């Protein structure tokens, strides 16, 4: 297959090569209609930038570092697909590392990626990360950083997350509407943004429906479900509570699937004895037994938006940037696991 170049696109569309080049980079200097024509033609002709040529020309590595808790998590794998879709079409490669909910691993990975001279970082914080000095130091030296999903509160940069409060509110309100009153909440470390926002949504739904908040029904797992013993302890405390909950709202993939397994192991039925709603992007949620009700996040779109933000910071370093915090809508999918038997 013949390789198409910027010159070929320019000739076909009767544009200058510089106009085509800027359009492909998403430059604000090019009007939207010209951008659309160029991008559609480039896609149709299977144009792909030459990263080596671009890096030599621009003195950049044309690579983006991504730091996430774990690739095996469906949410993060979907987000990475979104990141790669944007990066690839803009001539960037991605370098992925996992912090496995460890601050130390996050610190080492951050330093390694910086030494590899990535052009910027996209980060979702580990469960242990309440110290962000390693990011602040790199940002002060000019390295663009964008946070997504697990975002720091007091940090000036672009941030992309789901609307965790609304998602948690809707999940809890659904359980209440089904007739459940003793609703527990299984969640991640208390200092994570997603933990706080989902907890607040859960509490607000209870308050709005006149249900007292029972603190002993709220269980934190500091490693987000990656240590089975930690989840088991939390779930068994709920199951053997003097006033056993009749429903659980769980805030993550591993927490949810582990909870379902432990509930069954203890001889209880879902949803007859304990109903459950997860905050999860599990592709197989409908195949579980029973099929899992879940709040899903637009992971792919979150990954895309975070990458667009980062590339804009990379390619317009001297521009006056108004940093944005974007919250994308979640969706509650109701299935068997949360429907109260007649």
Is residue 195, in this structure, part of any structural domain at all? yes
Q: Give the CA-trace dihedral at 168, 170, 175, 179, to 10 degrees.
A: 140
pLDDT tens string 211-262: 999 999 999 998 888 888 999 999 999 999 999 999 999 998 889 999 999 9
C-beta separation of 271 from 339 below 8 A: yes
194 with 318, same domain: the answer is no
∠310-313-316 over CA atoms, to 5°?
145
The DSSP line for 148-193 is ESS--SS--S-EEEE-HHHHHHHHHHHHHHTT--SEEEEES-TTSH
Q: Which helix (H) or strand (E) holds 205?
A: helix 193-208
**Span 102-126, mean pLDDT?**
94
Pair (256, 230) in one structural domain: yes
Do 206 and 293 lie in one domain? The reply is yes
pLDDT of residue 1: 47
Q: Is the pLDDT of residue 56 over 80?
A: no
Q: Is the pLDDT of residue 2 over 70?
A: no
Number of domains into which the chain is organized: 3
Closest CA to 295 of 283, 280, 282: 280
Pick the range with the lowest mean pLDDT from 55-64, 157-166, 262-271: 55-64
- Whichever domain contains 204, its CATH number is 3.40.50.2300
Q: Is the pLDDT of residue 274 over 50?
A: yes
* CA–CA separation, 231 and 239 (whole Å): 12
Q: What percent of the chain has pLDDT over 90?
A: 69
Same domain, 213 and 277: yes
Same domain, 94 and 64: yes
CA nearest to 67, candidates 35, 107, 10: 107
Q: Give CA separation, 190 vs 127, 186, 251, in Å.
A: 9, 11, 12
Comparing C-alpha atoms, which of 183, 296, 332 is closest to residue 246? 183
- The C-alpha angle 264, 168, 269, rounded to 5 degrees, equals 15
| Residue-number span of the structural domain to which 188 is assigned | 164-297+332-338
Residue 293 and residue 190 in one domain: yes
Q: Who's near 163: CB < 8 A, 6+ residues apart?
A: 327, 328, 329, 330
CATH number of 22's domain? 1.10.260.40
Answer yes or no: is 1 within a domain.
Answer: no
Structure tokens at 269: 């039925």
DSSP 45: T
207 and 284 in a common domain: yes
**Could you tell me if residue 54 is inside a domain?**
no
Do 263 and 117 reside in the same domain of the chain?
no
Residues 40 and 103 in one domain: no
Tokens of residue 42, six digits: 């480039």
pLDDT at 158 over 50: yes
Instruction: Inform me whether the pLDDT recorded for 320 exceeds 90.
Output: no
- Shared domain check, 268 and 170: yes
Same domain flag for 40 and 82: no
Distance in angstroms (rounded) separating the CA atoms of residues 42 and 268: 57
Angle, helices 74-89 vs 299-315, to 10°: value is 40
Helices (H), the chain: 6-13, 17-24, 32-44, 51-58, 74-89, 103-115, 133-140, 164-177, 193-208, 228-239, 253-265, 299-315
The Cα–Cα gap between 52 and 58 comes to: 10
Is 272 within the bounds of a domain?
yes
DSSP state of 91: T
Q: Which pLDDT tens digit goes with each residue over 31-50?
A: 888 988 998 898 888 887 76
Please give the distance of CA 237 from its chain centroid, rounded to a whole number: 29
Q: Are 146 and 121 in contact (CB under 8 A)?
A: yes
Burial 284-299 (b: 16+ CB within 10 A, else e): ebeebebbbbbbbbbb
Q: Are strands 159-162 and 93-98 parallel, antiparallel or unpaired?
A: unpaired
Neighbours of 107 (CB within 10 A): 17
Residue 331 has pLDDT above 60, yes or no: yes
> Is 124 within the bounds of a domain?
yes
Is 75 a member of any domain?
yes
64 and 35 inside one domain: no
The whole-angstrom separation of Cα 1 and Cα 76 is 34
């Amino acid at each position: 297959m013949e390789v198409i170049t910027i010159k070929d696109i320019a000739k076909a569309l009767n544009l200058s090569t510089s106009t085509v080049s800027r359009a492909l980079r998403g430059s604000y200097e090019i009007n939207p209609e010209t951008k659309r024509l160029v991008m559609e033609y480039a896609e149709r002709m299977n144009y792909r930038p030459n990263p080596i040529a671009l890096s030599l020309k621009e003195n950049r590595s044309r690579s983006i570092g991504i730091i996430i808790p774990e690739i095996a998590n469906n949410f993060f794998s979907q987000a990475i697909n979104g990141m790669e879709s944007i990066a690839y079409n803009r001539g960037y490669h991605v370098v992925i590392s996992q912090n496995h909910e460890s601050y130390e691993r996050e610190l080492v990975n951050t330093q390694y990626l910086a030494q590899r001279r990535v052009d910027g970082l996209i980060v979702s914080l580990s469960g242990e990360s309440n110290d962000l000095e390693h990011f602040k130091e790199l940002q002060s030296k000019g390295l663009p950083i964008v946070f997504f999903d697990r975002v720091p509160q007091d940090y000036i940069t672009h941030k992309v997350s789901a609307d965790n409060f609304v998602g948690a509110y809707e999940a809890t309100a659904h359980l209440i509407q089904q007739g459940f009153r003793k609703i527990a909440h299984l969640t991640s470390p208390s200092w994570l943004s997603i933990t706080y926002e989902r907890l607040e949504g859960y509490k607000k739904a209870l308050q709005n429906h006149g249900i007292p908040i029972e603190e002993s029904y709220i269980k934190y797992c500091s490693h987000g479900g990656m240590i089975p013993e930690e989840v088991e302890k939390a779930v068994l405390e709920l199951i053997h509570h003097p006033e056993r909950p009749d429903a659980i709202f769980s805030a993550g993939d591993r927490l949810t699937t582990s909870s379902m397994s432990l509930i069954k192991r203890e001889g209880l039925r879902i949803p007859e004895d304990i109903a459950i709603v997860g905050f999860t992007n599990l592709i197989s949620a409908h195949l579980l037994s029973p099929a899992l009700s879940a709040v899903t996040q637009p992971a792919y779109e979150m990954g895309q938006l975070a990458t667009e933000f980062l590339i804009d910071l990379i390619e317009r370093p001297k521009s006056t940037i108004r940093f944005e915090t974007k919250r994308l809508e979640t969706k509650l999918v109701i299935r068997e696991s949360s429907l109260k038997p007649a």
